[in-house]
Amino acid sequence: MAHTRDNVVLPIACEITPSRVIAARGSHRNIDSASARALSAGAVVPGLTGDNVVRPEELRTVVEDVLTTVGGHGHDVTVVLPDSVVRVVLLDFETLPDKHQDAEGVIRFRLKKSLPFDVDKAMLSYDVRRTSAGVKVVAAVAQPTVIEQYEAAFRAAGYQPGVVMPSSLAALGAVDADRPTLVLKVDAETTTVTIVDQQQLLLFRTLEGGAKAVTGERIAEDVYPSLVFLQDNYGLSVERVLIAGVPSAAEIAPVLEQQTGAKVKDLVDSSIAPGTGVPRGELAGVVGALLA
């Protein structure tokens, strides 16, 4: 997460992708309604730096339209952004200071050489898990000038961007991570591979090549290094694969199941988001944000 109010789950989530804006409203771990609207090509060009929102008035109009459809005005909204906007990094430390300010300084120092912008001025959110073997940190970092472009569209539409998070981290909110699970989330330009086990994030990789390049063979090739990483570093094998962002798991499942040896399913199944009118493959980010 790039920018959050601590431990807050809001009733409305809205995801901006390069081609669509998708919103959903939920209550009591159910999705009550969802809606999506198209963006014109080039209106939003996600990236870690530079101008992401090329046509802000169009984005404002679409955001207002889709949020009005799912429910009311003036609400706080969880904003879900493309993975290419936020850099997510997994870090290992032998120790980490308990004091938040000191720990943040250590994390920023570790990130300094891996970012194309000044980490000292960046927005940083992180989760710390301490074990007997050391300290594991999941850090999400982004440029404030980039995040503000997206947040401005919500404020202009009469909404408050209460929580901001990258799409694949948001999607993990819908995953029961009690066993080794590989999650593939595809958007228009990127494919993100995550692996979780025992409620821990073990791997996060964002790869170039989105929906237009997706085939079973291509995804199988992309996930192979991640399977090797999981085996070499944790002695684990993936027990299931969950996918989102493609029309149907059935289209790529056979090759992927042969590669991983695990059953492939849609990340968002019909019991989570029945009858919304939005393809389930596009709902993973907002559903995960609402169920987290």
Q: What is the pLDDT of residues 99-147, one digit of tens each?
A: 999 999 999 999 998 899 999 999 999 999 998 889 999 999 999 999 9
**What is the distance between the terminal CA atoms of the chain, rounded to a whole angstrom?**
12
Q: What is the pLDDT of residues 217-264, one digit of tens each?
A: 778 888 899 999 999 999 999 999 999 987 667 778 888 898 889 999
Work out the mean pLDDT of the chain and round it to a whole number. Answer: 89
Mean pLDDT, residues 60-87 taken together: 91
Per-residue b/e over 237-250, b at no fewer than 16 CB within 10 Å? ebeebbbbbbeebe
Distance CA 259, CA 216 (A): 10
pLDDT given at position 48: 95
Position with higher pLDDT, 265 vs 273: 265
pLDDT given at position 214: 66
Distance CA 243, CA 192 (A): 10
- pTM of the predicted model, to two decimals? 0.90
pLDDT given at position 256: 86
Question: For residue 278, what are the contacts with CB-CB under 8 A and spacing of at least 6?
Answer: 22, 24, 34, 35, 36
pLDDT given at position 123: 96
Helix axes of 253-260 and 216-234: crossing angle, nearest 10 degrees: 20
Instruction: Give the least confident one: 17-26, 47-56, 68-77, 226-235.
Output: 68-77
Distance CA 188, CA 169 (A): 17
Distance CA 224, CA 220 (A): 6
Decide if pLDDT at 6 tops 60: no
CA-based R_g, the chain, Å: 18
Mean pLDDT, residues 176-187 taken together: 91
User: Cβ(34)–Cβ(278) under 8 Å?
Assistant: yes
Name the range with the highest mean pLDDT among 48-62, 123-137, 172-186, 273-287.
Answer: 48-62
Token pair listed for 160: 């408050």
The band of 277, judged by pLDDT with boundaries at 50, 70 and 90, is confident
Distance CA 251, CA 198 (A): 29
The band of 3, judged by pLDDT with boundaries at 50, 70 and 90, is very low
Tell me what percent of the residues of the chain surpass a pLDDT of 90.
Answer: 66
**Cα angle value 246/170/216 (rounded, 5°):** 25
User: Cβ(106)–Cβ(97) under 8 Å?
Assistant: yes
For residue 267, CA distances in Å to 185, 220, 263 come to 9, 17, 12
Mean pLDDT, residues 77-96 taken together: 96
Token pair listed for 272: 């989570």
User: Cβ(48)–Cβ(84) under 8 Å?
Assistant: yes
